[in-house]
């Protein structure tokens, strides 16, 4: 029986476990951060910047995709604004 490279890849994929890196927490005034982020990255929309408590991972993932930056870069940006 022949298996394709794709089927082997899918079988070997494992769920991504939460790591200490994912323990990032938003601190400070979120509305002030939103204002600063919009000034520095005008392509961001209100929907991109929607944030609910304990939803940091989703926010970082969304911003990383929208800004074409790594998750680590987004975390640094969020800490600086």
Regarding predicted confidence, which is higher, 44 or 2? 44
The DSSP symbol for 21 reads: G
Domain 16-80 CATH (choose: 1.10.1470, 2.60.40, 3.30.70, 3.90.1310): 1.10.1470
Report the pLDDT value the prediction gives residue 80, as an integer from 0 to 100.
93
- Yes or no: say if 47 and 34 are a contact pair by the CB < 8 Å rule: no
pLDDT in tens, 33-57: 999 999 999 999 999 999 998 999 9
pLDDT score of 25 more than 60: yes
Are 19 and 60 in contact by the 8 Å Cβ rule? The answer is: no
32 phi and psi angles, rounded to 5 deg: -65, -40
pLDDT computed for residue 23 by the predictor: 81
d(CA 36, CA 7): 45
Domain limits of the chain? 16-80
Q: Look up the pTM and report it.
A: 0.71
């Amino acid at each position: 029986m022949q298996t394709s490279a794709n089927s082997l890849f899918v079988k070997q994929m494992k769920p991504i476990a939460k790591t200490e890196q994912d323990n990032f927490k938003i601190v400070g005034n979120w509305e002030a951060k939103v204002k600063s982020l919009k000034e520095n990255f005008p392509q961001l929309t209100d929907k991109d910047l929607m944030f609910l408590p304990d939803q940091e991972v989703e926010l970082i993932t969304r911003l990383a995709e929208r800004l074409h930056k790594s998750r680590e870069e987004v975390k640094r940006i969020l800490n600086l604004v």
